[in-house]
Structure 1
């Protein structure tokens, strides 16, 4: 039997990271570094992203202020997209964990942007694309985006391939593969079974302790939450009873509007076109930019075909 979250410990972990002057200091550093050399400002973006993660979690798990948590989660997603604009080929960016706060925010624009962001997954190593290797995290970063976008055929093919070809190191991700197959077919019972398995002590002791979840792991289980929320987006409500699943955050209730309350965000639109650079290992970077409402979204199949030209 898994113990319930120790909210007191989790909130204590957050509270020491709260800083009322964080936004002002980061904004000052951002403009100063940007004036010195293009690209130097990225560190300020990362620091402020971490601060808003702490704030979003605190808004919900301490104050129970759902609207504030969604707005602050939106800022996390905006800053992560800004970092991607500043360095679209940054190795390791575009991880699965970067969907967590957009999913909490319920911002349609953020979710649209994230399910089209493939650039770091299209980097090659030893002649093989990162997304093709079932023993790299990029494999799973593409899977969760395909699930969010509803690209079912490719998602299922890759899920089955993973089960047959992955190493023991990634064995626990076979549960996710089972979930994706069930999601694609609309099998609610099978989806619930996979989520409940992810929530067991045997699995969560590893999956909740991944390096991405340093802030969240004391409060809830991020992987089951993300997958359950994606199922909800596609119209499937899963009956999951666990103190590690923040059910109120699963309800899809976008705010009437989201505010770019960080001053330098006004300098960049969410759907800004990526710019070519010598440091980027992916060709045709502009054509791989996520597309706004009113334009057909970039599918992975299209993105891959553009890279192979």
Structure 2
């Protein structure tokens, strides 16, 4: 069933995705040339840039595919490719994982349901943010990505401690916007299904979507979906809580954790990097 676009902002964002996919820059010839340059390994630094461009193209392609009525398996496989491209950036000869930038694509990673790559991602984020691991630093700037890493790694006790610390001593700076995130994580740590659902519902209210759009959303998601609500719905399912909130910004088909039987690489050079 083709998703319903309920307002002009959604229509405009989908058109933006379509334009990116169909641009001359992403023609078959241009894509082939980028892949050839990456495969040659002649300039690893430039390869990182090209890989990032391919990843961005696939993000637009995934959103365009889904919102034009595409199938879930193809969408999920595109999400896998977005994550694998980030993984390849961190391998020789590129050796450039750029952990601080990886978090921006966290939505697509979780939607892939590809466990080996999700495990790599969570460890990468943990290693990058581990300096913020003390619960007393739970209202620091690094808290957001570390909490996600802890949730993915199953460190539920530390996750709950940090969330509780944030709630009890909420910050007064820009990080206060993550209070609802801490409410979700504390509910997850306690197994409070109603609390998790309440936090997810809050994240798809018009007020929250607008307030957090510059942080939560990227060029191909803003106005189409509620990224944090989807991420927390996926996390809840990963812990056995089958929560699906009814919202046009939260495609319910994306939420169950169901890995594909086979994942296919979008570009041939990717096959040289098994995981």
TM-score interval (norm. to shorter) = 0.7 to 0.9
Aligned to 2:34: 26
Aligned to 1:143: 147
The Cα of 1:153 is off from its aligned counterpart by 0.8
Q: TM-score, normalised by structure 2?
A: 0.85
| Residues 211 and 193 (structure 1), Cα distance of their counterparts in 2 relative to 1, 3 Å cut | closer
Name the Cα RMSD after superposition. 2.3
Matched residues in 1 for 2:154 and 2:96: separation?
Answer: 24
Aligned to 1:9, the other structure's residue is in SS state: helix
Matched residues in 1 for 2:189 and 2:219: separation?
Answer: 31
Q: Is the Cα contact below 8 Å between 2:201 and 2:245 reproduced in 1? A: yes
The Cα of 1:259 is off from its aligned counterpart by 1.2
Question: Which of the numbers 111, 118, 122 marks the counterpart of 1:104?
Answer: 111
Matched residues in 2 for 1:4 and 1:145: separation?
Answer: 33
Structure 1 stretches lacking a partner, 5+ long: 123-128, 271-309
The Cα of 1:134 is off from its aligned counterpart by 4.6
Q: Is the Cα contact below 8 Å between 1:159 and 1:178 reproduced in 2? A: yes
Aligned residue pairs, count: 259
Question: Which of the numbers 111, 121, 145 marks the counterpart of 2:129?
Answer: 121
Q: Is the Cα contact below 8 Å between 2:48 and 2:96 reproduced in 1? A: no
Matched residues in 2 for 1:5 and 1:154: separation?
Answer: 41
Aligned to 1:154: 158
Aligned to 1:146, the other structure's residue is in SS state: helix
Structure 2 stretches lacking a partner, 5+ long: none
Matched residues in 2 for 1:218 and 1:165: separation?
Answer: 28
Matched residues in 1 for 2:261 and 2:119: separation?
Answer: 17
Aligned to 2:17: 14
Matched residues in 1 for 2:197 and 2:164: separation?
Answer: 19
Q: TM-score, normalised by structure 1?
A: 0.76
In the alignment, does 2:115 pair up with 1:76?
Answer: no
In the alignment, does 2:260 pair up with 1:255?
Answer: yes
